[in-house]
Amino acid sequence: MMGEPQIGDVIGELLRDTLAVATGVGPRPLVGGRLPRPVIEIIERDDGLINGAPAAHYLDGPADWQPYDHRAVDRVRGETLDIGTGAGRIALLLQERGVPVTGLDTSAGALAVSRRRGVRRLVHGTVDTHVADGQRYDTFLLLGNNLGLFEGRERAPGFLAALAALARPGAQIIAHGTDPYGTRDPLHTGYHERNRRRGRLGGQLRLRLRYRELGTEWFDYLVCSADEFAALVHGTGWQLTDVDDRDAPYYLATLRLADSP
């Protein structure tokens, strides 16, 4: 159909161009063929809402991080899997600290950018496909709002089961989420209400990403309250042991693998 994007590696292309703009190395988007054009991630929601966010933050060093990112990395221990590593900003700091860390991502382009930035251990795939590789972990990170990868009530148990299969005894998950319900904007409150009427969690977003001519398929991304998250975890092999909401509406949820019987 006219105007529909070509399905492709949106994050990979976007991060490659973001790195080129930041370093001045390699082909990069230019205004009028001369001036650097900032790289913008376009996020489309299924009600027609479109947001644009500068992508440069994916490359940020620790000096530009939010306080909760620092608190998250300070809780890391042991063999660590950075799930949805993106441009590898978290993995790079952990490597510097001598933490054995692996970056996992579904985007081949994101992994290429992470590799160029110096991340040594990288895996292309999902938590489900990674189980067969035999590697096991003490800490799983879902930063940069990647609690969203739980998607919703249907996916969460399978996602947690894959993490349990990848876990060493006593493993922990540290996930960064955002409580979406503080808003009074009718565009968002109406969206949450329509979602609930369809049996979905209010902040179970249906999104696709776009960059230049490329788009992703539509996917679910979960933005939920800590209480909703606790309900998703309840009855699985994981226990929600801490919610750090010092930077509300952002929070860090820590889960621990319950002892096997």
Ligand X SMILES: C[S@@+](CC[C@H](N)C(=O)[O-])C[C@H]1O[C@@H](n2cnc3c(N)ncnc32)[C@H](O)[C@@H]1O
Question: Given the rule CB under 6 A, which residues bind ligand X?
Answer: 11, 58, 83-86, 89-90, 104-107, 110, 126, 143-146, 149
CB 60 within 8 A of CB 66: no
Q: Which is nearer to ligand X, 104 or 233 (CB)?
A: 104
Closest approach, Cβ 44 to ligand X, in A, equals 15
* Minimum distance, C-beta of residue 29 to ligand X, in the bound complex (Å): 19
Enumerate residues 6+ apart whose C-beta is below 8 A from 27. Answer: 20
Nearer to ligand X, 45 or 189 (CB): 45
Say if residues 118 and 98 touch (Cβ distance below 8 Å): no
For ligand X, the closer of residues 189 and 208 by Cβ is: 208
Minimum distance from residue 107 beta carbon to ligand X (Å): 4
Instruction: Measure the CA–CA gap between 169 and 147, rounded to whole angstroms.
Output: 22
Angle, helices 156-165 vs 226-233, to 10°: value is 60
162: exposed, middle or buried (C-beta count within 10 Å: 0-12, 13-18, 19+)?
A: middle
CB of 184 to ligand X, least distance (A): 26
Characterize 116-135 residue by residue with b for buried, 16 or more Cβ atoms within 10 angstroms of its Cβ, and e for exposed: bbebebbbeebbeebbeeee
CB 24 within 8 A of CB 31: no
Nearer to ligand X, 146 or 236 (CB): 146
Q: CB of 259: closest distance to ligand X in angstroms? A: 27
Indicate the residue among 16 and 89 with the shorter CB distance to ligand X. Answer: 89
